[in-house]
């Protein structure tokens, strides 16, 4: 399996505090990896370092063969941040068409794809984003990560702010994407969800990897992701 992401000995600091300490892992094409950890474990910092949003103080990162932050890697990946706000003067449709056309400037079908995505996420395409509810604003963040059908998805706490029905729908969508070979890196603290849509789990504690194994192996060794998490993170 060829690697989409190679992280070697990654260290990220906020001033004197080391948020990520010597992380080493790789992601293969078509893998669906859950990045787990308690609050402050370094999940978001790891994702931000992968995307080039944070400078790493040590180590090396390669994403789709590029340095972190290289726009050529962004052409092939979709990212949904944990928190964010799409430009509020745009309608949902205008925003997705804007993002989609930057990913695929020559794709004339991008408006149709945007309409389908908005319908799937139950969003009004012609309503300004400023008039969306909190839940809708959350869903447009997810929708923009899927536009252009990227081969690599990075989702930071994607279930935050979603209602239970949308969580089920999103899980199905992610499983479909995974079946079609999309690579997914998924940070979450909802362990049961990770168990349902990931093929591998990486558990972080205080910026270090304490477990990196296939889901099959985790279930075999610990019985469930939750038990593995409790044992490795040290909380009951």
Partner 1 sequence: MKLRILLRESARYIFRSKLLFLLMLFSFFLHYVGLNLVQQMTISVKGLVSTVGPREGMFVSIFLSLFVGFFLSAIYGIWMVPYFHQGERSQLTFVLPVSKWLFPIVYSGSLFVLVLMEFGIMLGSFSLVFGKEAILHPKFSWSALGTCLLLEVTAFQFLLFSFSVLSLVFGQMSTLFLGAMAFIILQVAGTVFRFGFDQSVFYQAYQLLPPLGELIFNLKQTFSQGEFPWGHFGLWILWLGASALLFKRVIRYPRRHQATQ
Judged by the rule CB under 8 A, the positions of this chain that interact with partner 1 are 51-55, 69, 71-72, 74-75, 77, 79, 81, 83-87, 89-90, 94, 98-99, 101-103, 105-106, 141, 144
Q: Which is nearer to partner 1, 55 or 109 (CB)?
A: 55
E strand spans, the chain: 3-14, 17-28, 32-37, 58-63, 77-80, 152-156, 183-188, 200-205, 208-214
Q: How far apart are CA 91 and CA 113, in angstroms?
A: 15
Half-sphere exposure of 13 (CA within 13 A, CB side): 6
Q: Which is nearer to partner 1, 79 or 229 (CB)?
A: 79
Min dist CB 207 to partner 1, Å, is 20
Min dist CB 89 to partner 1, Å, is 4
Q: How far apart are CA 141 and CA 83, in angstroms?
A: 9
Strand (E) or helix (H) holding 174: helix 164-179
Min dist CB 51 to partner 1, Å, is 6
Min dist CB 103 to partner 1, Å, is 6
Q: How far apart are CA 122 and CA 140, in angstroms?
A: 10
Q: Which is nearer to partner 1, 79 or 186 (CB)?
A: 79
In our burial notation (b when 16+ CB lie closer than 10 A, e otherwise), range 198-209 reads bebbbbbbebeb
Min dist CB 44 to partner 1, Å, is 10
Q: How many CB atoms within 10 Å of residue 30? A: 18
Q: How far apart are CA 32 and CA 201, in angstroms?
A: 9
Min dist CB 99 to partner 1, Å, is 7
Q: Which is nearer to partner 1, 2 or 106 (CB)?
A: 106
Q: Which is nearer to partner 1, 60 or 85 (CB)?
A: 85
Q: How far apart are CA 164 and CA 185, in angstroms?
A: 21
Q: Which is nearer to partner 1, 104 or 173 (CB)?
A: 104
């Amino acid at each position: 399996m060829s690697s989409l992401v190679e992280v070697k000995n990654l260290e990220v600091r906020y001033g004197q505090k080391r948020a990520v300490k010597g992380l080493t892992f790789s992601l293969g094409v078509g893998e669906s990896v859950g990045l787990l950890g308690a609050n402050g474990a370094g999940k978001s910092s790891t994702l931000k370092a992968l995307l080039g949003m944070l400078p790493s103080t040590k180590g090396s990162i390669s994403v789709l063969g590029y340095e972190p932050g290289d726009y050529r890697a962004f052409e092939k990946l979709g990212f949904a941040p944990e928190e964010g706000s799409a430009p509020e003067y745009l309608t949902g449709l205008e925003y997705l068409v804007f993002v989609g056309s930057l990913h695929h400037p020559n794709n004339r079908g991008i408006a149709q794809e945007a309409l389908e995505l908005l319908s799937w996420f139950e969003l009004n395409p012609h309503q300004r984003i400023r008039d969306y509810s909190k839940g809708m604003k959350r869903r447009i963040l997810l929708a923009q990560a899927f536009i252009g059908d990227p081969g690599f998805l990075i989702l930071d706490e994607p279930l935050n702010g979603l209602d239970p029905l949308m969580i089920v729908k999103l899980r199905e969508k992610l499983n479909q994407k995974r079946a079609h070979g999309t690579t997914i890196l998924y940070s979450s603290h909802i362990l049961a969800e990770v168990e349902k849509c990931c093929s591998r789990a990486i558990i972080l504690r205080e910026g270090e990897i304490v477990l990196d194994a296939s889901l099959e192996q985790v279930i075999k060794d610990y019985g469930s992701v939750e038990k593995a998490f409790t044992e490795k993170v040290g909380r009951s």
